[in-house]
Every structure is written in structure tokens, then in C-alpha cells.
Amino acid sequence: MAGPDAQATAQGVAAEAEDGGLGDWTVAVLGDAGRVRPVVAAPAPVLSRAGAEVDPTDPDVVRLAADLVVTMRSSPGCVGLAAPQVGVGARVFAVDVTGHPKAVTVHGTFVLCNAVVVEASRWRPGREGCMSVPDLTGDVKRASRLVVTGQLPGTGHPVRLVADGFEARALQHEIDHCAGLLFLDRVAGAHAIYQRKVYL
């Protein structure tokens, strides 16, 4: 039989498995209120260049992380925003799919640095839009089951996130931004691109 300490340790491991290693991390740990930055639109060159790897504990990266969260939250319907979209060529992005009707897994608001997809499966087509491509949407085939590793800004803590459904799609969309790709680079062809009627 496990004693109290072993039981607490087991609960801690289970909690970390469920939240992907986010633990007690919140945006508040950044210690910066953040500011809204202007979002750049295609064909801005920064959107087609791969971002640089960053030091997640660098004060400039921490400030960028806070700015990404604030800018994302200031835009109705926005569920993710990457550093290249605010003109910074860095591998940093924010995601929050809370409340989205298509969300299966929901890890709340978080920012990842240097994220990498380590597993992708269950590929499904779905419609996507982007603040940097405000007039168009497109059908993109993405993995609906995803495992991503990265680091948390501020702490540098390593994270392994398991995501499904819409959150998995949002993660792939933002990781693509950090690699210099837009959703338009992923569509099957011109027939899969549409004029946006309403921007939510």
C-alpha cells in the first residue's frame, strides 16, 4: 500500500499528465500586463520566414509572451496568435480555445516557446481563418490528435501537451506561423479558398 507521500506524488504525476506539464503556470507568472500590438497582414515578409528559437526566460521574450496574450484577447474570435503576426520573427505563440464549440481538449490560456510537433494522427479537413489573412478562409487538413513539446515563457519549464480536435488545429496553425507558413500554404488548391463573409 502507498503511503501519503507516495500517493501525493502519484496524484502530482497524474495531474501533470492531464495538463500536459502546464502545472500551476498562468499568464500572471510573466509579471507583465502586456500591450496590444498591431497585427501584420500578408504579404508581410516576416510571415514567410521561419522564426528563431528563443530563450524562454529572456525578459524580451517574456514581454512578447504577455503582449501576444493581450493582443489575442483583444480580438473577438481569436484563439491563437504567433510572434510573426506581430512582426517578430520568433518561435513563440499564444493559444486559448476556451469556450469554442468545437474544442475537445482545453488547456486554457498558455504561451509556448520553441514548440515542436512530436506526434500527429487522425487527419481531418477543417475551415480556418487568420488575423493575418483577414479576407479569406480555407479548408486545411490537420491532425486532430497532436502531441507537442515546448517551453513555458518566464519559467522555461518544458511542456508536453496532448491535444485533440480544435485545440490541436489551433496549435498546428500557430506552429506553422513560427515556421513561416500561412494556412494558405496548406490548402489543397484555389478551390479550397473562400472569401470571408464575417470576421468573428
Cell of 180: 513561416
DSSP calls for 36-98: --PPP-TT-GGGGSPPBP--TTSHHHHHHHHHHHHHHHTSTT--EEEGGGGT--BSEEEE--T
Residue 12: in which H helix or E strand, if any?
helix 4-19
Chain Cα centroid distance, residue 151:
12
Residues counted in the chain: 200
Distance set, CA 58 to CA 20, 93, 187 (Å): 23, 15, 35
Of these residues, 18, 53, 128, 174, which one is catalytic? 174
Q: Is 174 a catalytic residue?
A: yes
The answer to whether 115 and 150 have CB atoms below 8 angstroms apart is: yes
**Catalytic residue positions?**
174
